[in-house]
Amino acid sequence: MDRSSIAIVGVGAMGGALLSGLLEAGWTPSDLTLIEAYEPRATELREATGCRTEGLPSDGIDGQDIVVLAVKPQDIHVALGQLAEVLTVDQLLVALVAGVPLSVYERALGEVPVIRTMPNTPALVGEGITACAPGTHAGADHMAKARTVLSAVGLVEEVEEALLDAVTAVSGSGPAYAYLLAEAMVAEGVRQGLDPETALRLAARTIKGAGTMMESSDDNPSVLRKRVASPGGTTAEALAVMNQGGFVEVVRDAVAAATERSVELGEIAAG
């Protein structure tokens, strides 16, 4: 395994998820440097992982093969100002910052290779999927390095940057769609007599299992759906109600709206 040295700038939810995944995947604490300005959090990270921590990028990214940027979007310009002073073209920046286009990074960092990503929250349990778009100065070798790192928390897909807004709408926001569906299933299950804990387990395992079947089957979701829905049966009755309520149209409209909002936020970030 290519165990590149890595600095993680911003060790919040997503940066922390990647840190845990890397340690589980075989990276050692000596391979990882954590840039965390909040000292109580830095102390917690040192004690929990044994990794070196530094308060500023200028103190921690020199000599690192890969720098992972996982700050909040509103902090991007301050972070890039700090990184611009120390990042070199021999390093790779992997950006886990939602909505910030490659042009922003390249304007601040020049010819430093940058890969923009869109992860999702199931990365917190090692079941994420991350879409990656390479910048102007990032080549196949940079993508291979990024893929190795990001695979520590789930699957990795390479896409063109123009498609990252659609990715955001489908997989970035997608867990919330599944949770909303689960909420409705659980609530009605309880109304029909199930206790809440049982209803939650039933819904969670059903959604997880359906996802696993989609990943492992050669058939598309439409075929899998039809296999469950026997004519005249309970599933067919439920699907008929969903169709009458415009379920498919609502989901499509929701994904379209999320895509449009992602475009708007990217334009704001670029400005």
Q: What's domain 6-165's superfamily in CATH?
A: NAD(P)-binding Rossmann-like Domain (3.40.50.720)
**pLDDT score recorded for residue 22:** 95
Per-residue pLDDT, 234: 96
Hey, what are 180's tokens?
């909303």
Nearest Cα to Cα of residue 67 among 24, 103, 15: 15
Q: How many CA atoms lie within 13 A of 76 on its CB side?
A: 24
Q: Where are the domains of the chain?
A: 6-165, 172-266
Name the fold adopted by 172-266. ProC C-terminal domain-like fold (1.10.3730)
Q: Which of 112, 113, 116, 91 is nearest to 101 (CA)?
A: 116
What pLDDT is attached to residue 161? 96
pLDDT of residue 2: 63
Tokens 């829905």 correspond to: 229
The alpha carbon of 5 is separated from its chain's Cα centroid by a whole number of angstroms, namely 21
* Reported pTM: 0.90
pLDDT means over runs of 10, the chain (271 residues): 85 92 94 93 94 93 94 91 95 94 95 96 94 96 96 96 96 96 98 98 98 96 95 95 97 96 87 75
Q: What is the DSSP letter of 50?
A: -
